[in-house]
Amino acid sequence: MNYRVIGRTGIQVSQLCFGTMSFGSYADEAASRAMFARCREAGINFFDCANSYAGSRAESILGACIDEAGCRDEIVLVTKVCRPMRDGVNGRGLSRHHIMREVEQSLRRLRTDRIDFYFMHHYDPLTPVEASLRAFDDLQRQGKILYPAVSNWAAWRIAKALGISERNAWARFELVQPMYNLVKRQAEVELFPLAQSEQLGAIVYSPLASGLLTGLYGVDRRPAQGRLNEARYQARYAGRAPYEVADAFTAFCRARGFAPPALAVAWAMSHPAVTAPIVGAETVEQLDGYLAAFDIPMDAALREEVGALSDAPDGGVERTVD
């Protein structure tokens, strides 16, 4: 396993982060435990979770796995807050009220006294950023979290938050978590340059585009089973274009002898701003498919060839002087 330092924290993590969104949902407890054991055997020390995954069962299963293996000090543990957790107007979001309640619940389920990177899972338009940052700073001072982190926010908003943290001498975001794969490349335009400029770690989710880049999908190929059949994933990869990319990617893999899941992960991993991709699996076999990413001879030339299979995102408004 390769290990990378997260931004300016000095914390070393495996170059694959294992995402536990499937724990207690797509994977039952036995399958989840088997994947956790395989991760540890392969040297993975980095686990992503969220309070909302599988109605909190993911945190409970992950907490039990870590506790029973007695390996808490070897693990870099990530979880998140923001998504709706209970009925009532205050059962969601990034208010101090919700954050302070939820961090205690997460610590209890994860059977630990600290969360290494605590993520704001989404943007909450009802809470001023200052209120959420101040709550996270308090949690850091209390030792309940080591570092604040942020997912699914626009780069300009993160940049603004970094300025607010600096002005107030509050703990700043040290890690970002955008979606990134061959079909969804928007992070290349603003977010990755921000991460590189400010020395933020970056872990990227959905490297397989929710299954689209497994080699099973194409314009005329839509398996009956699989997550992409669910309405919210169909909406995310709507229209013909993503399936054309999937066809081109599958043909490229076939011609060059690469397994599609391994190449998709190796490609996401190869962006210089990326600390680690977050892989999601339902079985040990799928997890082994990701570990094969380390056998792919990914270099700048191969990265460019794979990148040419989809349209690079438009560069935005900035123009450099001639």
Ligand X SMILES: NC(=O)c1ccc[n+]([C@@H]2O[C@H](COP(=O)([O-])OP(=O)(O)OC[C@H]3O[C@@H](n4cnc5c(N)ncnc54)[C@H](OP(=O)(O)O)[C@@H]3O)[C@@H](O)[C@H]2O)c1
57 burial level (CB within 10 Å; 0-12, 13-18, 19+): middle
Instruction: State which of residues 289, 296, 306, 310 lies at the interface with ligand X (CB under 6 A).
Output: 289
63: contact with ligand X by CB under 6 A: no
59: contact with ligand X by CB under 6 A: no
Beta strands in the chain (DSSP E): 3-5, 12-14, 17-19, 46-48, 76-81, 115-120, 145-151, 175-177, 201-204, 276-280
Alpha carbon separation from 298 to 52, 166, 267, 306, 308 (Å, rounded): 35, 37, 7, 10, 15
310: contact with ligand X by CB under 6 A: no
15: contact with ligand X by CB under 6 A: no
Amino acid at 55: G
Phi, psi of 8 (to 5 degrees): -105, 25
Instruction: State which of residues 281, 296, 298, 306 lies at the interface with ligand X (CB under 6 A).
Output: 281
245: contact with ligand X by CB under 6 A: no
- Contacts (Cβ under 8 Å, ≥6 apart) of 48: 17, 18, 19, 20, 21, 78, 79, 177, 203, 205, 278
The answer to whether residue 53 is catalytic is yes
Q: What is the footprint of ligand X within residues 144-163 (CB under 6 A)?
A: 151-152
Least distance in Å: CB of 236 to ligand X?
A: 10
7: contact with ligand X by CB under 6 A: no
Contact, 191 vs 201, CB < 8 A? no
Least distance in Å: CB of 214 to ligand X?
A: 4
Binding range to ligand X, per CB under 6 A, among 18-26, 126-134, 186-194, 308-316: 18-26
Q: What is the footprint of ligand X within residues 183-242 (CB under 6 A)?
A: 205-211, 214, 216, 226-227
Instruction: State which of residues 280, 291, 296, 309 lies at the interface with ligand X (CB under 6 A).
Output: 280
Q: Which of 3, 26, 53, 290 is catalytic?
A: 53
Binding range to ligand X, per CB under 6 A, among 29-37, 234-242, 280-288, 292-300: 280-288
Closest to 46 in 3D by CA, of 309, 290, 232, 301: 290
Sign of CA dihedral 236, 7, 132, 58: positive
Nearer to ligand X, 195 or 208 (CB): 208
DSSP string, 89-105: TTSSSS-HHHHHHHHHH
Q: What is the size of the binding site for ligand X (CB under 6 A)?
A: 29
52: contact with ligand X by CB under 6 A: no
48: contact with ligand X by CB under 6 A: yes
Rule CB under 6 A: which residues touch ligand X? Answer: 19-22, 26, 48, 121, 151-152, 177, 205-211, 214, 216, 226-227, 261, 278-282, 286, 289
Active-site residue set: 53
